[in-house]
Amino acid sequence: MKKIQVWLAAVLLAVGMVLVASGPASAEPYCGLVWGSLAKADPALSQAKVTNVRTGQHYCFDRLVIDLNGPVAGYTVRYVPQVTQGGSGAGVPLRGQAFLQLTVNAPAYDDAGNSTYNPADKNELTTVTGYQTFRQVAFAGSFEGYTTLGLGVRARLPFRVSTLAGPDAGSRLVIDVAHFW
């Protein structure tokens, strides 16, 4: 009888430990991110000019930064079936399973028509090999005061858009795309 009580107590203790250790299923978002995948936009126009594009990797997301030589004003960032060039509407081929079209309401040329951002390779603005989410960043042109980029990503994932002041009198448009939902 004593063996049965010890055995029963051991089984109950083991079951209790499993229940406590596993706990209830959590609905916490990945890395605390509560972003979405719907379009984000600000219609304002900017007097600033696009001067650079760069990318970086973070623990929970990949980041694309568009540098401007003045305060960033408006933008549109949205998932599209295909990124298109401003003016012509021609498609921009991108690697990836989903495509973000990033339009900054600022030109990549000055008032005299000289380029303020002229990438060496319009199809590969930055090297994103080894990034968890990004597959390709391409320049889709600058037309009538709007500059468009294409961002190929591995899936339609949540993203956020923010603006940051600096350095100096410049500013940055920042697009973060989460690694997971």
Q: What is the pLDDT of residues 118-166, one digit of tens each?
A: 999 999 999 999 999 999 999 999 999 999 999 999 999 999 999 999 9
The residue assigned the tokens 């603005």 is 125
Cα 129 to Cα 52: distance, rounded to the nearest angstrom: 19
Q: Is the pLDDT of residue 23 over 50?
A: no
Q: Is the pLDDT of residue 84 over 70?
A: yes
Return the pLDDT at 24.
Answer: 43
Strand 146-153 to strand 98-104: parallel, antiparallel, or no bridges (unpaired)? antiparallel
DSSP per position, 15-79:
HHHHHHHH-SPP-PPGGG---BSS-EEE----S--EEEEEEEE-SSEEEEEEEESS----EEEEE
Q: Is the pLDDT of residue 19 over 50?
A: no
105: CB partners within 8 A, 6+ apart: 42, 43, 44, 45, 46, 73, 74, 75, 76, 145, 146
pTM over 0.85: no
28: CB partners within 8 A, 6+ apart: none
CA-angle at 153, arms to 88 and 49, nearest 5°: 50
* Higher-scoring residue by pLDDT: 117, 18: 117
* Higher-scoring residue by pLDDT: 101, 13: 101
Q: Which residues of 50-62 are buried (b: 16+ CB within 10 A; e: fewer)?
A: bbbbebeeeeebb
What backbone torsions phi and psi does residue 103 show, to the nearest 5 degrees?
-120, 120
Return the pLDDT at 142.
Answer: 95
pLDDT digits (tens, 9 = 90+) for 38-57: 999 999 998 999 999 999 99
